[in-house]
Amino acid sequence: MRKKKESSGINRREDGQPADGKSGAVRETVNFLLYIFIVFLITYLVIHYVGQRTQVSGTSMEYTLSDGDNLIVDKISYRFQKPERFDIIVFPFRYEEDTYYIKRIIGLPGETVQIDAAGTIFIDGEALEESYGREIMLDAGQAAEPIKLGDDEYFVLGDNRNASSDSRDPRVGVVYGKDIIGRAWLRIYPFDNIGFIKHQ
């Protein structure tokens, strides 16, 4: 009586190699490369269209934001709504490449902004009620005279008014809506101060 050969449970080709050997390895490689591609694609889309990490440099936004704070900038909200007064925004500095400013919106399109000698901000002739300024503003800059904002122009100030280069400075001037990168959304560092940025 002949003994049946035991089966190993693996299908083999005529050359003795497993039938799925190479195709299995190729499939795994393709899956891995596809995974890497998807990760890079998602990262690219998030960075360019949804959010962006940025670091605060300087003290112009004290005490709201401090030097060295790491933030996530929301880049998508303004695709669906207009910036609002007191939003903290990020925009490029027009005279230096790869340099960005972070300031608070004070004046909106169509409004007239003026700052008097006492540091009071006037919007369309009425004193603005706000408590974001760290100190009384000592220098009104070009806002000592009324500044009429155009349809896509915003007037911005740093919260640390006496240590901020902002719309009072002709080198910064008004900010165009089309140039706004996004609004400060989330502080991710330092770890003991993680949280959403309050705008209003």
- Of residues 23, 75, 103, 148, which has the active-site annotation? 103
- Which residue bears the tokens 């500095």? 93
Are 105 and 86 within 8 A, CB to CB? Answer: yes
18: DSSP letter: B
d(C-alpha 28, C-alpha 21), whole Å:
11
Identify whether the C-beta of residue 61 lies closer than 8 Å to the C-beta of residue 184: no
| Helix H or strand E encompassing 39 | helix 21-45
| Active-site residue (options: 4, 22, 60, 198) | 60
Residue 165 is among the residues annotated as catalytic for this protein? no
Catalytic, 22? Answer no
Residues with catalytic function: 60, 103
